[in-house]
Amino acid sequence: MPETAPSPLPDLPSPSPALLIGAALFLDFDGTLAPIADTPDGVHVDGELIDLLAALRRKLNGRLAIVSGRSITTLRDFGFHDFLLAGTHGLEFAAPGETPQAPARLPAIDAVEQAFHLFADTRPGMLVERKSISVGLHFRGAPDCGEAAGLLAHQLAQDHGLAVQAGKMLFELRPGGADKGSAVTHLMQQAPMAGGTPVFIGDDVTDEEGFAAAADLGGHGILVGPARHTRAAFGLEQVAAVRHYLAQGVAAII
């Protein structure tokens, strides 16, 4: 029998700016609001982005949140002090100006961080990212080490009862029990997000739970980047298209 080539994934339709009217908007950070950089510290947030998000949030009567794998502390360091934040893949929450609600850093995370360093320190290009309550092992600078990094991450997760969060050239270990979907569900139950139609914009596999939660609550997911199997109904090509879309949203909402 002749082998059949897998059929290409159809491109997702572009979202209309009108989708943002009445939305409760959830925005991923890396790869959605800021282009992917070589290292976690290589990302820059410009004042124009903060101003755009602030204008959109005003139009949405406050219904705008950033839902990221970054910690709340890091998001605030990037300049998002005044925003409703869900950090570390749905494990942490903070309203503007408030102390983050977050679980304590587990001793197991410190043990994993040490093991990650033992692995990374002999492999040029590997990078360990210390985070508030989790730890990341990045192989963007050493792509050949990705498979070994994944094996190590899964072994350590099993040894310490932690969850593996795969990302873009990254394995992160963190406590389980939450994801971006649970963050959306949680935030949709309270002001200022309650009452809006959830719209989740993200690029990474970690955003799929966010797309699914938004869809399950009657809203929509918007995937940033190339087509893939996804729960998102709409697509935008890249970060610049996201910014353009958000600016169109500001203009579309009276």
Ligand X SMILES: O=P(O)(O)OC[C@H]1O[C@H](O[C@H]2O[C@H](CO)[C@@H](O)[C@H](O)[C@H]2O)[C@H](O)[C@@H](O)[C@@H]1O
Task: Please give the residue ranges that form the binding site for ligand X (CB under 6 A).
Answer: 28-31, 36-40, 43, 68-70, 129, 131, 136, 138, 140, 167-170, 172, 204, 206
The residue with its CB nearest to ligand X is 69
Q: Select 113 or 172, whichever has its Cβ closest to ligand X.
A: 172
| Active-site entry in 28, 30, 204, 207 | 28
Asked about 77 being catalytic, the answer comes back as: no
Q: State the nearest-atom distance from the C-beta of 254 to ligand X, in Å.
A: 30
Q: State the nearest-atom distance from the C-beta of 18 to ligand X, in Å.
A: 26
Alpha helix ranges (H) inside the chain: 47-59, 72-77, 107-120, 146-160, 180-188, 208-216, 239-252
d(CA 130, CA 218): 37
161, 109 in Cβ contact below 8 A?
Answer: no
Helix (H/G/I), strand (E/B), else coil: 158: helix
Q: State the nearest-atom distance from the C-beta of 146 to ligand X, in Å.
A: 11
The two three-digit tokens of residue 159, written as one number: 């040894």
d(CA 241, CA 80): 21
Q: Select 240 or 251, whichever has its Cβ closest to ligand X.
A: 240
Catalytic residues: 28
